[in-house]
Structure 1
């Protein structure tokens, strides 16, 4: 059964997690492979300028399938094998999605729990429905964030709030998520996708190649030194100045007309 549905809307790709019967769980199915394949295809298609990620049904994603975790009780499944399973399994999603060089808007339609919350944190911009809730709930089931959540969540909400969420496992509602910076806006459920689309269209109106380089600089800026980022920025700028889109933007400004990007 397919986990991700793809809809192409001009320069925008809408990805929908479409297994509401499992609350869009990310394990025990083909979710990992499908996320990696989708990211690879988007990265290779220069005409894609923005991505929207959302979930079908009332839940964004419940994260790991707790029922599926019973198999870890098997003595034959050693800690070494489990570690490798995480490396070759769910950890491939943050490597693919977080490093995707196309801007990704997460439209959070309902609860984002455990790995579901971490999935949202892999995206660049998060918009929440008023019905959304968020929980870094791994501790509640006796495990740690195995998908990079301990790296992702503090970058979204700060260390103190991330520690509070991770140590208690307590959920927060959309209003609190907005207050702590986890999401950039909260909208009525019926307005969620239209809001995400409108934002994606504003992003897609800009030059695609420069957008991808801008995202890469923002990502690198979270961990690189200023000197390293300045050097990288100089190299990217040299490339940008030679693009047809830059020439078009400058000429449109000089000629007092709207730019027409490829």
Structure 2
């Protein structure tokens, strides 16, 4: 690889034969949870990949037994307490989604284990998603006490329909890889030991294919996602607004204390003349 890869210290990058770049979330001791620095790297890398002539296709996976457990609580607490951090994270969250959408190179996710948060964003926004049948996928935003932001509003309804999207996003119930394939949320569900080999096989096929034809097909198809841009922008703004509210504090506390949240205790009593959400 050229020198651009030296800027990335939180992600494990491997240039494989045939122009395939493998990106690995590499914090297995923390189930590959994403801290602030990792989030910045996974946001910016797509522009470098787009400009890297040696990269023909990308495979994203996780080290150990997880794909990515989402954002770590230290970062979440910074979002709760620092307005400037919320603004900066909102911009970065927005850029992560659009950078993946606009990257010309085909992206294949190899979801080898549990996936949530920003990791799930990458997993589902990949052009082709390969998931373990036994992996658990979950969008945990409302369980944390914030609106389902990230990429949920832009991609879930398109993949699995509004009824299923609302059900899983509002309840935060986990979904297995096998069920995710059945409802159309992912491309393929395979046995756990076949996730990475299958993803690499697909990447090799695309890397050896008609580069322009594949890139232009991706660009055209992703206009469905671009057309949902205003909906996505609203969801991320409301997610960041939630980090300043009382519900997320209870959500984080309940996670740390390993108990169900008591969101009823966080509700502000409204007068009859006050507007309701």
TM-score bin (small chain)? 0.7 to 0.9
How far did 1:82 drift?
Answer: 4.8
How far did 1:71 drift?
Answer: 3.0
How far did 1:57 drift?
Answer: 1.3
Partners of 1:73 and 1:102 lie apart in 2 by 36
Partners of 1:221 and 1:68 lie apart in 2 by 32
How far did 1:11 drift?
Answer: 1.8
- Counterpart of 1:23 (choices 26, 31, 36) is 31
Partners of 2:89 and 2:160 lie apart in 1 by 25
Q: 8 Å contact 2:33–2:71 — kept in the other structure?
A: yes
Q: Deviations over 1:188-234 (max 9, x none)?
A: 2221111111111111121223321221111125556xxxxxxxxxx
Q: How many residues align?
A: 219
Q: How does 1:59-208 map to 2 (within 5 A)?
A: 59-74=66-81, 77-78=82-83, 81-208=84-211
How far did 1:6 drift?
Answer: 1.2
Q: 8 Å contact 2:168–2:174 — kept in the other structure?
A: yes
Structure number with higher relative contact order (C-alpha < 8 Å, ≥ 6 residues apart): 2
Q: 8 Å contact 1:91–1:146 — kept in the other structure?
A: no
For structure 1, which runs of at least 5 residues remain unmatched after alignment? Answer: 225-262
Partners of 1:125 and 1:64 lie apart in 2 by 23
Larger Rg: 1
Query: Is 1:44–2:51 an aligned residue pair?
Result: yes
How far did 1:21 drift?
Answer: 2.2
Q: TM-score, normalised by structure 1?
A: 0.76
For structure 2, which runs of at least 5 residues remain unmatched after alignment? Answer: 1-7, 228-277
How far did 1:141 drift?
Answer: 1.0
Query: Which residue matches 2:235?
Result: none
Answer 1 or 2: which has greater helix percent: 2
How far did 1:152 drift?
Answer: 2.0
The runs of 4+ residues in structure 1 deviating greater than 4 Å are 221-224
Partners of 2:45 and 2:80 lie apart in 1 by 32
Q: 8 Å contact 2:78–2:85 — kept in the other structure?
A: no
Q: 8 Å contact 2:61–2:112 — kept in the other structure?
A: yes
Q: Which moved more, 1:30-39 or 1:161-170?
A: 30-39
Q: Deviations over 1:51-98 (max 9, x none)?
A: 111111111111121243223443xx24xx354122333333212222
Kindly tell me: are residues 27 and 147 of structure 1, through their superposed partners in 2, closer, same or farther at Cα, counting changes over 3 Å?
farther
- Counterpart of 2:40 (choices 30, 33, 37) is 33
Q: 8 Å contact 2:43–2:92 — kept in the other structure?
A: no
